[in-house]
Amino acid sequence: MDPLVHLLDGPRARGAFTLRTVMSPPWGFDVRDGAALTLVVVTSGRARVEAPGGGVDAGPGDLVLVRGPEPYTIADSRGREPTITVLPGQRCVALDGTEVHVSMSHGVGTWGNDPDGTDTMVVGAYQDDSEVGRLALAALPPLAVLPGSRVDPALVELLTREITTGHVAQTSLNDRLLDCLLVMAVRAWLEDNPDSAPNWLSARHDPVVARALELVHERVAEPWTLEVLAGECAVSRATLAARFQRAVGTPPMTYLRTWRLTVACDLLTARPDLSLEAVADRVGYGSAFAFSAAFKNHTGVSPSVYRAGNPRHGGCDALPGAPVPV
């Protein structure tokens, strides 16, 4: 299995925020909702997004990815001062302190300063990083724009229609459509920016290393040793170690340990029903004690503390060659 599959298997929106926005210039928002990741598809007009990673301009069909939780601004043009602040819970407050999230509503799933506005967008926000998948977050820059040619307009149209019609089970379907849109966006960004992709994704071009990655990702609980892994790849230990180090930037067993703990991070937050013993077993540790010791050494906190607080620790995301989310 391609390691990219594991990266893209993470998105699982649960009641994600989705909205169609309709605006007439001048307009500008200071977004401080703390979302883990936001997708903005411009469906007509223009938008300027400014984030810690810089600024991008987007036109019809373009999709902008903004990695949180840092604030960002979105406006009709560069240099526009925001007049509305978006707070956690999607509370919208004007400069004078007036709450406008209700007064600017225009029916089901539609909001803005003008129901016939020329600048329209579809917005989807993942509130929690466990919903996005830490690998997807780690592989993305703080701010990215994809041209309209890289986004399926039929999917955007379907999401827009579902957001604005209020059918039964709307939230569930919106979540799945948003997940599909995110998977397509992440895949397209990685394809368009191969030099920025994590080493462990690029390494699939070496067939031996690709096989080793496939085995480690797909059978994470196996009691792997370098000798056993090399045998599965039909090469010597020395050959596997050298080629893996060259392609990925770290020894195979170091990568395996980091991958196991990355998977454990997701299990701890996404599966609260699993005991520590069960999590340990699923990621290849013989006991909860051994797992807890390795986890704390890697992240700085125990599995129980991590699960309770779900902090943003770089250790769980820091696969070789991947930027650590801020």
7 or 311, greater pLDDT: 7
Let me know whether 35 and 158 are in one domain: yes
CATH code of 265's domain: 1.10.10.60
- Split at pLDDT 50, 70, 90, the class of 202 is low
Per-residue pLDDT reduced to its tens digit, 246-263: 888 889 999 999 889 988
Let me know whether 182 and 204 are in one domain: no
Given 194, 222, 247, the domain boundary residue is 194
User: Would 24 be classed as within a structural domain?
Assistant: yes
| Predicted TM-score of the model (pTM) | 0.76
CATH code of 73's domain: 2.60.120.280
* Segment of 136-150, 204-218, 226-240 carrying the highest mean pLDDT: 226-240
Find out whether 175 and 169 touch, Cβ atoms under 8 Å. Answer: no
Residues sharing a CB contact under 8 Å with residue 89, sequence separation 6 or more, in sequence order: 33
Kindly state the average pLDDT of the residues 282-291. 94
Q: What is the mean pLDDT of the chain?
A: 87
Per-residue pLDDT reduced to its tens digit, 105-140: 998 999 999 999 999 999 999 987 766 666 677 778
Given 179, 194, 209, the domain boundary residue is 194
174 or 75, greater pLDDT: 75
Let me know whether 38 and 168 are in one domain: yes
Q: What is the DSSP string of 73-105?
A: EEESSTTPPP-EEEEGGGEEEETTS-B-TTTTB
Domain that holds residue 153: 3-194
Let me know whether 167 and 213 are in one domain: no
Kindly state the average pLDDT of the residues 139-148. 89
Let me know whether 56 and 171 are in one domain: yes
User: Would 325 be classed as within a structural domain?
Assistant: no
Kindly state the average pLDDT of the residues 190-206. 75
DSSP H helices, the chain, are 3-8, 129-132, 134-139, 153-165, 170-192, 199-202, 207-218, 226-232, 237-248, 252-270, 276-282, 288-299, 303-309, 314-317
Let me know whether 38 and 111 are in one domain: yes
What pLDDT, on the 0 to 100 scale, is given for residue 128?
78
- Split at pLDDT 50, 70, 90, the class of 78 is very high
User: Would 67 be classed as within a structural domain?
Assistant: yes
User: Would 324 be classed as within a structural domain?
Assistant: no
What pLDDT, on the 0 to 100 scale, is given for residue 322?
43
pLDDT at 317 over 70: no
295 or 200, greater pLDDT: 295
User: Would 146 be classed as within a structural domain?
Assistant: yes
Say how far apart CA 131 and CA 153 lie, in whole Å.
24
Let me know whether 261 and 146 are in one domain: no
Residues sharing a CB contact under 8 Å with residue 256, sequence separation 6 or more, in sequence order: 216, 224, 284
User: Would 326 be classed as within a structural domain?
Assistant: no
Say how far apart CA 210 and CA 215 lie, in whole Å.
9
pLDDT at 92 over 50: yes
Given 124, 159, 194, the domain boundary residue is 194
Domain count, the chain: 2
DSSP assignment letter at 261: H
Alpha-carbon distances of 144 from 53, 122, 201, rounded to whole Å? 9, 16, 19
Kindly state the average pLDDT of the residues 94-100. 94
What pLDDT, on the 0 to 100 scale, is given for residue 191?
83
User: Would 298 be classed as within a structural domain?
Assistant: yes
Let me know whether 149 and 228 are in one domain: no
Token pair of 231, please?
Answer: 């045998």
Let me know whether 239 and 270 are in one domain: yes
User: Would 207 be classed as within a structural domain?
Assistant: yes
